[in-house]
């Protein structure tokens, strides 16, 4: 996860740079290697991705 495609593959909104509509919500979005088991971090990031996607879909339906 990074702010630009020159530094990562996934944006802070979990969307893959250059592939609109493709979202990643697993451990690969953790920006650096974790020193401990990242299970809770991965669950939090997946929940965040789901919330962001739900908001985006709700906004698209309202438009």
Domain count, the chain: 1
Q: Please give the full DSSP string across 4-39, using - where no structure is assigned.
A: STTT-SB-TTSBBTTSTT-B--SGGG-SS--SS--H
Q: Domain range for residue 57? A: 1-63
Q: What is the pLDDT of residues 3-53, one digit of tens each?
A: 999 999 999 999 999 999 999 998 888 877 767 788 888 899 999 999 999
What pLDDT is recorded for position 34?
67
Phi then psi dihedrals of residue 33, to 5 deg = -65, 135
C-alpha 23/C-alpha 9 separation (Å) is 11
């Amino acid at each position: 996860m990074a702010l630009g495609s020159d530094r990562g593959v996934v944006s802070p909104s979990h969307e893959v740079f250059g592939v609109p509509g493709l979202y990643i919500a697993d451990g690969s979005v953790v920006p650096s290697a974790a020193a401990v088991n990242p299970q809770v971090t991965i669950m939090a990031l997946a929940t965040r991705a789901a919330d962001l996607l739900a908001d985006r879909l709700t906004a698209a339906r309202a438009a």
